[in-house]
C-alpha cells in the first residue's frame, strides 16, 4: 500500500502554486484599485439632507439658540443647502484629487449655509414680531430686560 503522504504531496504542490497565483492576482487588483470619496452617491446625499431636516426641525444645540424650523420649511432649506454646497464643492474638484479636501469643503459649506439659514430665519422672526428688546448677537432678550406676555399686559 502506498504511503498517504506520498500521494498527497505531489497534488498539494500545484494547489499551493495555484493559491499563490490567486493571491498575486488579488494583490495586483488591489494595487490598481483607487478609492474615490467624491462625488458622494445619491444615497449619501439623501442621508445628508435627511440629517439636515432633522437638525433644523427638532430640538438640538442649534435650535436652542435660533429656534426650530417647521418640517416643511426645513425640507426645502435642507435640499437647497445640500445642493448649493454640492455645487460649490464640485466646482473645486479635479480628477487628480482623492476627494478628501473636496469632502471637507462640502461639509464646511453645509455647516456655514445651515447656520446662515437659521440666523436669517431667527432675525426675520424677531423683525416680524417687532421685539425691539432682542439682542441679535445671542438671540435672547437684552440683559436686564425680560420680555414676557405678563409684563406686556401689566404695562398696557
Average pLDDT for residues 11-23, to the nearest whole number? 76
Q: How far apart are CA 146 and CA 14, in angstroms?
A: 86
Contact between 92 and 105 under an 8 Å Cβ cutoff? The reply is yes
Q: What is the pLDDT of residues 97-107, one digit of tens each?
A: 778 899 999 99
Q: pLDDT-based confidence at 56, cuts 50/70/90?
A: very high
Torsion angle, alpha carbons of 143, 145, 150, 156, to 10 = -170
pLDDT for 146 equals 35
- Preceding peptide of 39 cis, ω within 30°: yes
Query: 83-96: per-residue pLDDT in tens?
Result: 999 999 999 887 77
Query: What pTM value is reported for the model?
Result: 0.62
CB distance 56 to 111 below 8 Å: no
The answer, yes or no, to whether residue 145 has pLDDT greater than 70, is no
**What pLDDT does residue 9 have?**
52
Q: CB under 8 Å to 69, separation ≥6 — which residues?
A: 56, 57, 63, 77, 117, 118, 121
- Sketch the domain layout of the chain as residue ranges: 58-125
Evaluate if residue 140 carries a pLDDT over 50: no
Confidence of residue 144 (pLDDT cuts 50, 70, 90): very low
Amino acid at each position: 500500500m502506498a504511503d498517504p503522504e506520498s500521494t498527497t504531496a505531489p497534488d498539494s504542490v500545484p494547489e499551493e502554486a495555484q493559491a499563490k497565483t490567486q493571491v498575486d492576482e488579488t494583490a495586483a487588483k488591489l494595487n490598481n484599485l483607487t478609492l474615490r470619496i467624491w462625488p458622494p452617491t445619491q444615497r449619501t446625499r439623501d442621508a445628508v439632507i435627511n440629517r439636515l431636516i432633522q437638525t433644523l426641525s427638532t430640538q438640538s444645540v442649534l435650535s436652542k439658540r435660533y429656534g426650530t424650523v417647521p418640517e416643511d420649511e426645513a425640507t426645502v432649506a435642507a435640499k437647497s443647502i445640500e445642493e448649493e454646497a454640492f455645487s460649490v464643492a464640485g466646482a473645486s474638484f479635479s480628477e487628480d484629487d482623492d476627494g478628501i479636501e473636496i469632502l471637507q469643503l462640502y461639509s464646511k459649506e453645509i455647516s456655514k449655509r445651515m447656520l446662515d439659514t437659521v440666523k436669517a430665519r431667527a432675525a426675520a422672526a424677531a423683525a416680524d414680531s417687532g421685539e425691539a428688546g432682542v439682542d441679535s448677537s445671542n438671540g435672547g432678550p437684552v440683559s436686564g430686560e425680560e420680555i414676557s406676555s405678563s409684563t406686556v399686559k401689566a404695562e398696557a
